[in-house]
Amino acid sequence: MREIDLDFFKHLLTQWLDELLDKAYYTTLGLREVNDPLQDPLDRAVLASEHNFTLRMRDRERTL
């Protein structure tokens, strides 16, 4: 590969890494956000389902 091609792919991969790290940060921030112990069981179940869905999506993105 030429030096120009290597620089292009290095820049592209660096951008992808930055995006993934940002998503990971906001995912963990979102998981820590809700700490209200007064929620009813349905609210807690919905919140747990949303967290599981988010984690599954991040895992799929990670494996791509």
Digit-coded pLDDT (tens) for 26-36: 888 877 776 66
Tell which residue, 27, 12, 30, 10, has the closest CA to residue 61. Answer: 27
Across the range 46-57, mean pLDDT stands at 87
Rounded to whole angstroms, the Cα distance separating 48 from 56 reads 12
Q: How many domains does the chain have?
A: 1
- What's at 23, amino acid-wise? K
Q: What is the pLDDT of residue 38?
A: 64
Quote the domain boundaries for residue 28: 3-63
| Overall average pLDDT of the 29-58 stretch | 80
Whole-number pLDDT of residue 8: 94
Q: pTM (2 decimals)? A: 0.54
Residue 27 in tokens: 């995912």
